[in-house]
Structure 1
């Protein structure tokens, strides 16, 4: 494994500890401009999210009103009612975003797809670096706000559904994530700079509790506004 990738994984608790668990649940509060722009203001302002660790799936519960629940898998989205009965489905969901721009509204299943790939990626990072087919390359260091961060370019294989094929991680001297860059392919390749902070220890693994996503410029710098998405996480629980 790439030396920097190994350092990052170890700093977050180590691959052996992560592999003891099959899923993670957390309480989720979200804000930012994206949700209203996509036609879903309030739907996921406060909810719970469960993601598979390793296996790619995620669920938001509740998903909006009436006790609905989402179920994301790369090849299928399902929205269920409060009794677990499917009320909306979308097969081959990524193909449904063809031609989308940042301003294109989403259907509920499309919202569930975006939220699913986002939270699965975020909560499995950095342990995704150890998955088969993931390629890592260390880049030149980056200076921001008086700090120097190491950078890792990550290229994902086609069988992992995530924001973009190529992403960049920024880490401090201890190997903890500070920033995560990607281009949201399903929203016209919109570029984001995703800052993480507020680390806590959860059953031997380290997770950030605060995430703030801002626009990213071509030179790699980020804008301080608008706030595209804010994510605050609490009540983490790992499940065997």
Structure 2
């Protein structure tokens, strides 16, 4: 790993601890305009999720109805009853966004894929930056909020479901994540750049997580706009196994 990534792992619990972790369980409150604009406003409003750390998989309890669950993997999403009966499923779910525009309505499986990969990416960072095929390089620093943040540019391989192939992570002097830039490619042609801010970091079982997140649009000069809040995420509870 490079010097910056070494610092980042020291700040977020260390590589050894991440390798030992198997699951992240969290309760989250999700807001913002993104999902309501797709007619899926309540699907993740209060979500109870369990994410595998070592592979892309997530389970969302009480998804769309009490007793049901949403199952996310990059190649399949499904809504099941408690006994495992499959109510709805979709294979190759990313392909289902083809032809949809920036204002098109989503169904529940669209939302499950989006929320599944997004939350998995957010909660497994920075560990996902060490997955096979991910390339990282430190780029020029960025000054914001009276601080200078070091920046890491990451390029993701096609087998990792994520927002965009190229993303930029911003870290403060201690190595904590403060901002994360990406384009949500499933939104359609020429998606706008978004800035995802993180704070209220908390240590849980030796790993460090931001517990408050919000996403805003970015101006042409790379400065954040005041709004609208595209997505907000507040973690009310986190447990690690």
After TM superposition, where is structure 1 displaced by more than 4 Å over at least 4 residues in a row? none
Query: Match for residue 67 of structure 1?
Result: 67
CA–CA separation in structure 1 for the residues paired with 2:173 and 2:101: 37
For the residues of structure 1 that align with 2:3 and 2:157, how far apart are their CA atoms? 20
Alpha-carbon distance, 1:35 to partner:
1.6
Q: State the shift of 1:171 in Å.
A: 0.4
Please name the residue that 2:117 is paired with.
117
Residue aligning to 1:187: 187
Distance of 2:132 and 2:10 partners within structure 1: 18
Q: Could you tell me which residue of structure 1 aligns to residue 127 of structure 2? A: 127
Aligned residue number for residue 82 of structure 1: 82
Q: Answer with 110-119 or 78-87: which moved more.
A: 78-87
Cα separation, 1, equivalents of 2:67 and 2:35: 19
Matches of 1:233 and 1:52, distance apart in 2: 17
| 1:111-157 Cα deviation digits (max 9, x unpaired) | 00000000000001011121121111111110111111000100011
User: Aligned to 1:88, what secondary structure does the other structure show?
Assistant: strand
1:198 maps to 200
Quote the Cα distance in structure 1 between the aligned partners of 2:3 and 2:149.
15
Give the TM-score taking structure 2 as reference length: 0.96
Q: Which residue of 1 aligns with 2:213?
A: 211
Is residue 43–residue 111 contact of structure 2 (8 Å, CA) maintained in 1?
Answer: no
Q: Does 1:225 align with 2:227?
A: yes
State the Cα deviation string for residues 71-99 of structure 1 (Å, max 9, x = none).
Answer: 01011011112333110000110111113
Give the structure-1-normalised TM-score. 0.96
Structure 1 stretches lacking a partner, 5+ long: none
Q: RMSD value over aligned CA atoms? A: 1.2
C-alpha distance in 2 between matches for 1:102 and 1:174: 37
